[in-house]
């Protein structure tokens, strides 16, 4: 049944309150459901039909080594911005918290009693200046995240400088277009990707205050990428490139599924991995998108027309469809620099933890990186 009014969803009062609280875009939901039900949103719709080409080597900027003359120059630029209060950090702590036994990943212990949250916030706390934090949760992570922060006294940061934001909410569908309900008859809610980070930030009173008080730069990264520490050299590289966005890219390895910067009809932008046609040899692109970026405050706008993509999932043994938007697509709307950062080693910028098994593998490096 196509949903035409909220009443058609047959929500409980608690479910209606959840949707109202988290900015459910009912009109967009109805459009997407109709397209899916009418057979107009098959998986093939995700694949781009634009002309693609590898990125020119000259457009991939290598991050200079620490202590090199250029590295020292960029370090100084970044440190100056931090000391002047021009830098903030946004940490993506949303999603559905499903891969760690139902626990919110940010509160999971990484090593020696330290959680993802403690390691990431401790790094920001120790910066040489006051750096506001915008912690973007989902409806599935916000309560446990707040409890974790309270229990640990916000890891030494003033609560007034840690702004808790919540991303949008959406409703799962069956491949036929019917609304998905779980074995208990409850509607399946989910967080529809990290593409809404810009509109959520733009609506935030804390972010507006940061911008009005001279804030200029925002470093965005995933909570589970422990390599994405606040790095003055990266900030300096962004300032020197003088573009609204700087995307961190790293060496591509076999099996990497992330997006990559490619020429799309002659314009360089991040294209997600699932959007590449089979005819395009991704091996031509030596890097991939780490989902860490630095953006100018002026580039944080609520009205980017980011594409809704289809994501097929398995929930309780049933095939479901989720529609999601992704942050990297902002590069289709604003010019971006592509900063080639080291992937591995003590200075590596890509240490993702997607499963408990990943966590066991990187523990020794985490201990070294964070001096545990």
pLDDT, mean of residues 205-221: 98
Asked whether residue 44 is assigned to any structural domain, the reply reads no
Please give the helix or strand (H or E) that residue 137 lies within, else none: strand 133-137
Within a domain: residue 214?
A: yes
Percent share of the chain, pLDDT over 90: 88
Task: Report if residue 45 sits inside a domain.
Answer: no
pLDDT, position 356:
83
The residue count for the chain: 372
Beta strands in 223-325 (DSSP E): 245-251, 260-264, 267-271, 287-296, 309-315, 318-324
- For residue 118, pLDDT beyond 90: yes
CATH number at residue 106: 3.90.550.10
Tokens for 94? 């949303």
Query: Token pair for residue 154?
Result: 């916000």
* Whole-Å CA distances, 110 to 157, 257, 305: 20, 24, 37
Q: What is the mean pLDDT of the chain?
A: 94
In a domain, 35, yes or no: yes
Beta strands at 189-190 and 170-171: parallel, antiparallel or unpaired? antiparallel
Task: Give me the domain span that covers residue 229.
Answer: 6-39+50-369
H helical segments located in 166-231 = 197-202, 205-212
Q: Is residue 1 part of a domain?
A: no
Give the residue among 126, 134, 135 at the shortest CA–CA distance from 82: 126
Structure tokens that stand for 327 in this block: 């942050």
Stretch among 54-58, 76-80, 199-203, 350-354 having the lowest mean pLDDT: 350-354
pLDDT band at 164 (very low <50, low <70, confident <90, very high): very high
Calculate the CA dihedral of residues 219, 225, 236, 367 and round it to 10 degrees: 130
pTM: 0.95
**Residue 186 counted as domain residue:** yes
Q: What is the mean pLDDT of residues 30-37?
A: 98
Q: What is the pLDDT of residues 321-364, one digit of tens each?
A: 999 999 999 999 999 999 999 998 888 999 988 888 888 888 99
For residue 99, the model assigns a pLDDT of 65
Distance of CA 195 to the CA centre of its chain: 7
Residue 306, Cβ density class (10 Å: 0-12 exposed, 13-18 middle, ≥19 buried): buried
What's the structural domain count of the chain?
1
Residue 142 lies in a domain: yes
In this model, does residue 306 exceed pLDDT 80? yes
Average pLDDT over residues 26-34: 98
How large a percentage of the chain has pLDDT more than 70?
A: 98
């Amino acid at each position: 049944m196509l949903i035409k009014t909220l009443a058609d969803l047959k929500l409980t009062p608690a479910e209606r309150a959840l949707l109202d609280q988290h900015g459910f875009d009912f009109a967009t939901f109805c459009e997407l459901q109709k397209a899916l039900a009418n057979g107009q949103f098959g998986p093939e719709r995700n694949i781009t039909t634009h002309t693609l080409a590898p990125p020119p080597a000259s457009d991939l900027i290598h991050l200079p080594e620490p202590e090199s003359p250029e590295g020292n120059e960029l370090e100084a630029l970044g440190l100056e911005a931090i000391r002047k209060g021009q830098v903030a950090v946004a940490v993506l702590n949303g999603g559905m918290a499903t891969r760690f036994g139902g626990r919110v990943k940010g509160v999971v212990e990484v090593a020696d009693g330290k959680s993802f949250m403690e390691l990431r916030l401790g790094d920001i706390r120790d910066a040489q200046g006051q750096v506001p934090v915008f912690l973007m949760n989902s409806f599935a992570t916000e309560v446990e995240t707040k409890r974790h922060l309270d229990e640990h006294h916000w890891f030494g940061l003033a609560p007034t400088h840690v702004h808790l934001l919540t991303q949008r909410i959406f409703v799962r569908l069956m491949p036929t277009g019917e609304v998905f309900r779980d074995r208990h008859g409850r509607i399946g809610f989910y967080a529809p990707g990290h593409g809404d980070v810009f509109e959520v930030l733009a609506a935030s009173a804390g972010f507006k205050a940061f911008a009005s008080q001279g804030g200029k730069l925002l470093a965005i990264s995933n909570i589970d990428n422990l390599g994405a520490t606040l790095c003055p050299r990266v900030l300096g590289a962004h300032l020197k490139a003088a573009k609204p966005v700087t995307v961190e890219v790293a060496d591509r390895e076999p099996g990497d599924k992330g997006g990559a910067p490619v020429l799309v009809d002659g314009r360089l932008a991040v294209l997600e991995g699932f959007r590449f046609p089979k005819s395009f040899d991704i091996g031509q692109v030596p890097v991939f998108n780490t989902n860490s970026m630095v953006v100018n405050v002026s580039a944080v706008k609520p009205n980017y027309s980011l594409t809704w993509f289809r994501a097929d999932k398995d929930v309780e043994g049933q095939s479901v469809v989720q529609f999601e938007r992704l942050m990297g697509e902002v590069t289709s709307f604003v010019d971006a620099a592509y900063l080639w950062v080291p992937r591995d080693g003590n200075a590596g910028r890509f240490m993702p933890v997607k499963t408990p098994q990943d966590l066991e593998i990187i523990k020794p490096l985490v201990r070294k990186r964070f001096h545990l």
